[in-house]
Amino acid sequence: MTEPVLDVTGLTKRFPAGGGRFVNAVNGVDLAIRPGETLGMVGESGSGKSTIGRAILRLTDPSDGQVVFDGKDITRIPMGKVRPLRRDMQMVFQDPWSALNPRMRVGDLIAEPMKIHMTLSRSEREDRTEDLARRVHLSTEYLRRNPANLSGGQLQRVCIARAIATNPKLIVLDEPTSSLDLSVRAGILELLAEIREQTHAALLFISHDLGTVKLISDRIAVLYLGRVVEEGPAEALFDGPAHPYTQSLLSAHLPADPSVSLHRHVLEGEVPSPINLPTGCAFHSRCPVAVERCRNDDPPSERLSDGHVARCLRIAENGNRIPLKEAT
C-alpha cells in the first residue's frame, strides 16, 4: 500500500484563554492521507476543523502530537525550514475575496507562488500561468484584470490555480465552496476532481456541507469537540453511521429524492465548553443513548469494518443506535 503523504498522530492545539485557562480546540487527532486520496472532514462550527488544517500546514503551531509530511516530521522544525515546504503543501481558504491581494492582477496572483518557490524565467511563468488558467476553466482574458472584476466562483478558481501552481503533494481546502451558490459549487467540485486526477495530490477537504463532502471524498472523518469520533470510507459511513453524533449529523442531510421519508434527530443541550472539557465521552451530555459509564470512561476506537472506526462505548452491545422518528 502507498505510504501516506500526511500522517498525523495525537495532534493537539490549545489557545490561551486568560487566567491560566486554555481553549482546547483540537484534542488528540489522528489522521492519514495517501497520494490521490481525498479525506473529507465534517463537524459543527467550532469542532476544530479549520484549526487542524492550519496546524497541519504549520500556519499555527501544534501544542502537542506529531505531523509527518512526505516522510518528514515537521511538527516543531523552525519556521525558516517550513517555508521551503510550502511548494509541496498548499491551502485554499474559505473566502476568496480576503485570500487575494486586491491590488494585484489575476495573472500576477497565479504566478506569485511560482516566483517564490520555483526557478522559472518570466516567460516560463507567463506560459504556465496561462496554462493554469485554462486548467481551472478560467478565460485567459481575466489574467489582466483585478480580483474586483471577477465573481466569487471565478476568484475561487484563481485560488485553486495558485494552490496547484507548484505541483503540491498536499492541498488543504477549508470550506472552499461555502460562500458560493449551488451551480457554482458544482463546477468547483468537478474542477477539484479533475485536479486530483491530473496531479495525484492528496486533498483534505474541510466542510460542514455533508452533501458536498459525500460527493468528493474517499474517506470521511467526523469531528466533535476537537476529536475524531468516527472515520471511514464515505459510502460506509453514510450507509451505516455508528457513532450517535454521526447518526444525528447525517439525519439532518436532505436526500436528493424529495419522496424519501425524512428521519431526524435533533440534539438537545449545548456543546460543552472547550475550556472545560467533559470527562469520559465528550458527547455524553447530548447523547440520547448515553449510560453512566459514558460520563467517566474515555471510549477507545472500535473497528467496524475495513477502515471504518468509531469511538463509542456502546457499539459492542449494539446500544449505539439512536431511535429515529419520522419527520412531520
Q: Which three cell numbers stand for residue 327?
A: 419527520
Residue 239 and residue 299 in one domain: yes
pTM over 0.75: yes
**Given strand 72-73, what is the order of strands in its sheet?**
21-33, 6-18, 64-69, 72-73
Residue 50 and residue 138 in one domain: no
Residue 156: its pLDDT value, please? 92
Which of residues 163, 183, 211 is at a domain's end? Answer: 163
Alpha-carbon dihedral sign for residues 196, 199, 204, 206: negative
Which of residues 135, 163, 191 is at a domain's end? Answer: 163
The C-alpha atoms of residue 246 and residue 304 are separated, in whole angstroms, by 14
Residue 271 and residue 192 in one domain: yes
Residue 71 and residue 220 in one domain: yes
Residue 187: its pLDDT value, please? 87
Residue 259: its pLDDT value, please? 58
Residue 91 forms beta bridges with which residues? 172
User: Digits of tens for pLDDT over the chain (328 positions)?
Assistant: 689 999 999 999 999 999 999 999 999 999 999 999 999 999 988 899 999 999 999 999 999 999 999 999 999 999 999 999 999 999 999 888 889 999 999 999 999 999 999 999 999 999 999 999 999 999 999 999 999 999 988 999 999 999 999 999 999 999 988 777 777 888 888 889 998 988 899 999 999 888 889 989 999 999 999 999 999 999 999 999 999 999 999 887 655 555 555 566 778 888 999 999 999 999 999 999 999 999 999 999 999 988 899 999 999 999 999 886 654 4
Residue 116 and residue 220 in one domain: no
Whether 93 is covered by a domain: the verdict is no
Whether 83 is covered by a domain: the verdict is yes
Residue 69 and residue 106 in one domain: no
Whether 125 is covered by a domain: the verdict is yes
Which of residues 133, 163, 193 is at a domain's end? Answer: 163
Please give the torsion angle defined by the CA atoms of residues 122, 125, 127 and 131, in that order, rounded to the nearest 10 degrees: -170
Q: Are 106 and 147 in contact (CB under 8 A)?
A: yes
Residue 20 and residue 58 in one domain: yes
Task: Give the CA distances from residue 59 to residues 89, 90, 94, 130, 158, in Å, rounded to whole numbers and listed in that order.
Answer: 11, 11, 15, 29, 21
Domain that holds residue 83: 6-88+168-326
Q: How many domains does the chain have?
A: 2
Q: Which of 4, 8, 40, 45 is nearest to 27 (CA)?
A: 8
> CATH number of the domain that 215 lies in?
3.40.50.300
Residue 174 and residue 291 in one domain: yes
Q: Are 265 and 324 in contact (CB under 8 A)?
A: yes
Please give the torsion angle defined by the CA atoms of residues 282, 26, 176 and 100, in that order, rounded to the nearest 10 degrees: 150
Whether 95 is covered by a domain: the verdict is no
Residue 147 and residue 73 in one domain: no
Residue 306 and residue 194 in one domain: yes
The C-alpha atoms of residue 327 and residue 160 are separated, in whole angstroms, by 39
Residue 53 and residue 192 in one domain: yes
Residue 73 forms beta bridges with which residues? 68
Radius of gyration over every alpha carbon of the chain, rounded to an integer in angstroms: 21
Q: Which of 183, 289, 273 is nearest to 226 (CA)?
A: 273
Residue 185: its pLDDT value, please? 82
Residue 157 and residue 179 in one domain: no
